Amino acid sequence: MDCQPHTWFEGETVQAGASAPLGATVSAHGVNFSVFSKSATQIELLLFDDVNAAQPARVILLDPNRHRTYHYWNVFVPGLKPGQIYAYRAHGPFAPERGWRFDGDKVLIDPYGLAVAVPQGYDRDAVGRAGDNAAVAMKSVVADPSRYDWEGDRPLRRPLAETVIYELHVRGFTRHPSSGLATEKRGTYAGLMEKIPYLKDLGVTAVELLPVFQFDPQDAPRGRANYWGYQPVSFFAPHHAYCSRQGALAALDEFRDMVKALHRAGIEVILDVVFNHTTEGGKNGPTLCYRGLGNEFYYILETDKSRYADYTGCGNTLNANQPIVRRMIQDSLRYWVTQMHVDGFRFDLASILSRDETGHPLPNPPVLWDIESDPVLAGTKLIAEAWDAAGLYQVGSFIGDTWQEWNGRFRDDVRRFLKSDSGAVPAMAARFLGSPDIYAHKEREAEQSINFVTCHDGFTLNDLVSYNGKHNEANGENNRDGANDNQSWNCGVEGPTDNREVEALRNRQVKNFFALTLLSAGTPMLSMGDEVRRTQHGNNNAYCQDSELSWFDWRFLDKHADVHRFVTELNAFRQRRDVVAHEGRLSLNQLLRKASIQWHGVKLNQPDWSEHSHALAFTLQSLAVRFLLHGIFNAYWEPLSFELPPVPEGGRLVWRRCMDTALSAPDDIVRFAAAPPVSGSVYVAQPRSVVLLALALQPAPG
């Protein structure tokens, strides 16, 4: 049924407008609006005086003969300025069997809107009910991004070989009262800015922000919130609730202030982006934007077009390789690089972007090649989560030449090795060298692999060594949600304990995980709060927990100061400082690529690759023969004596112990200049420990 348009006013000054660019474009004399909708029979532009207004102050009916260019509806409205709140209504047939779901009562945001305003009475359920929803619907806001002063800022373009990524949640990072921030800044872009000294001191070089595109926090089980943000409603607007300031456009400026401040500290900004689905959900979800303008274009539909294909587990799948959607994705990425100065993107469930309009994987997906070959995006970090929720797994086979990949096999194999699984040693050796068994066929650099053992999705590192099973009861789904296979080990007791031996073992295991992640070739990624043993009390799917369960508790910084110090020193070692710095300023990644490596077991040159082995050692010799590194990974539950490579006779060379995770702080990790000498031809590695020795001239370089 074709709904009748509402009352409208055009006025003599409204002009035809231009079809490009899409969105609301500000000029000296007014604003040009353009929106795509092929099958709509009528479009209304709604202008609001206030986001909470029950009705628009002005409704402009777009004449198909005057305000339509091909499939684009466009109008120029003189006199409008940035800050104007607007939205659309789209009229047309409601025929789900043909893919059409027009509803002329629904207020729709602009797919290209640069800011989103959310009314105080926003109610996802009310928005989805029949009838006029103007009073409770999200609206778009006219913005002019050129009005911001970047003060010479540019994306940093830091080489991947020197990159250490820190995945964090903007709200969760500073929301906890222990953050020490003013109440209005907790959980905001401004709050993150105040913690930049902490990030810089920790030694990370990039923050990977969980979704900051405007999302619907109410897209969650009743009584809970969508905390992670993986339910986008806009691909251009920053999430307004992360802003500490008032005003419809405040989020744009505060986000850019944050980016500029991070860049001044030498820290890049990577966005976790969700181009695989939207918050509109399945057929019973609310009509907020895409469904109401071009449902048949924006989503992958089943053969029965009334049903949505769901490769995401979220009710719908964005039709990423459809030309209109391809352009929107590329335009979004370009906007965030050119106007918001971000340095890279991590693509959630990126394998979905390789599916065609019927859901089948493509050998050369157009949208991925669009991104890969875009000159505007050249030099931008592109990271793929190379799998989806429907079983498509592309780690090691993702398309293109510039993409990095979340290496899920690194996560799983390191977990298996450190909990002493059988047959884990050969895989551990491959992960340490940048996973050549996965990436060598493409002749990729080691940095192709994003190495991580924890992320937002799953156990925290503390919980990985404290729980054998998930404990997600707080999510209200009877512990059915979340992954069942976590490759975790509780070290003998489930959950918190006063047992000192168990606690000491957990602390050591946490350091072991950090050591293997930060010493391995590849690009390491750490997860927010792991460096202070943040806990979610065994919840491995805290997507709906906007509470202290998910927030960074800054009191842990004192409680687990030894772990924080260990990570800080390990980051310093990985970067161009300490031992590595003496090799022509090479980073550890570059050193691993260029140097020769010898594998050992407890005896030199006799690595044990058998099913029953739980230990591995290596010697790394630099090309210039300036120094040697000797590492020992003992995942066995008893101490083992490892033969050490002999030092040249008659010289002043001696092995120095830079790291031993079995020792208490501050002896667990020390700078090379202060590293104590190791005598003898054997080193006894304690149970479940990682040891790193270095050999250089005495006295140690200053």
d(CA 619, CA 223): 55
Question: Quick one: pLDDT at residue 581?
Answer: 45
Number of other CB atoms surrounding residue 156 within 10 Å: 17
* Cβ–Cβ under 8 Å, residues 440 and 508: no
Burial of 498 (0-12, 13-18, 19+ CB in 10 A): exposed
* DSSP alpha helix (H) spans, 433-521: 436-439, 461-464, 500-519
Burial of 567 (0-12, 13-18, 19+ CB in 10 A): buried
Short-list 443, 455, 599, CA closest to 528:
455
* Cβ–Cβ under 8 Å, residues 181 and 174: yes
Half-sphere exposure for 530 (CA within 13 Å, toward CB)? 29
Domain boundaries, the chain: 168-291+342-574, 596-697
Number of other CB atoms surrounding residue 586 within 10 Å: 20
d(CA 584, CA 580): 8
From the first residue on, what is the mean pLDDT of each consecutive set of 10 residues in the chain (702 residues)? 43 84 97 98 97 96 96 98 98 97 97 97 92 95 96 94 96 98 98 98 98 97 94 98 95 98 98 98 96 98 96 96 98 98 98 94 95 96 94 91 94 98 97 89 79 98 98 96 96 97 98 97 96 98 97 98 98 68 52 76 98 96 69 98 87 88 97 91 98 71 41
d(CA 59, CA 61): 6
Short-list 529, 531, 494, 496, CA closest to 511:
531
* Cβ–Cβ under 8 Å, residues 695 and 655: yes
Q: Which conformational region is residue 313 in: left (phi greater than 0), alpha (psi within -120 to 50 degrees), or beta? A: left
What pairs with residue 381 in β-bridges? Answer: 344
Q: Model confidence over 300-353: pLDDT tens digits?
A: 999 999 999 999 999 999 999 999 999 999 999 999 999 999 999 999 999 999
Q: At what angle do helices 561-574 and 500-519 cross, to 10 degrees?
A: 20
d(CA 173, CA 606): 46
Which CATH superfamily hosts domain 168-291+342-574? Glycosidases (3.20.20.80)
d(CA 668, CA 57): 67
Sequence letter at residue 465: V
Question: Quick one: pLDDT at residue 11?
Answer: 47
Q: How big, in percent rounded to 5, are the helix, strand and coil portions of the chain?
A: 25, 20, 50
Question: What token pair was written down for 84?
Answer: 């104007």
Number of other CB atoms surrounding residue 472 within 10 Å: 23
HEC letters along 226-289: CCCCCCECCCCCECHHHCCCCCCCHHHHHHHHHHHHHHHCCCEEEEEECCCCCCCCCCCCCCCC
DSSP 577-624: SHHHHTTTT--HHHHHHHSEEEEESSSTT----STT--EEEEEEE-TT
Q: Please give the C-alpha separations between residue 209 and each of 273, 461, 610, in angstroms, as whole numbers.
A: 9, 18, 41
Q: Please give the C-alpha separations between residue 311 and each of 248, 282, 304, 317, in angstroms, as whole numbers.
A: 34, 12, 16, 6
28-32-36 Cα angle (round to 5): 160
* Cβ–Cβ under 8 Å, residues 54 and 143: no
d(CA 405, CA 394): 9
Question: What token pair was written down for 496?
Answer: 């918190």
Question: What token pair was written down for 123?
Answer: 């109610």
* Cβ–Cβ under 8 Å, residues 5 and 92: no
Question: Quick one: pLDDT at residue 222?
Answer: 87
Diameter over CA atoms, the chain? 96
d(CA 35, CA 71): 9
How far is C-alpha 578 from the geometric centre of its chain's CA atoms? 30
Question: What token pair was written down for 515?
Answer: 């050591």
Kindly report the length of the chain.
Answer: 702
Question: What token pair was written down for 136?
Answer: 């409770």
Question: Quick one: pLDDT at residue 626?
Answer: 62
Instruction: For domain 596-697, give its CATH number from 3.10.20.90, 2.60.40.1180, 1.10.3720.10, 3.30.420.340.
Output: 2.60.40.1180
Residues identified as active-site? 348, 385
Please count the helices (runs of H) and the strands (runs of E) in the chain: 17, 27
Q: At what angle do helices 323-338 and 366-373 cross, to 10 degrees?
A: 30
Q: Give this prediction's pTM.
A: 0.95
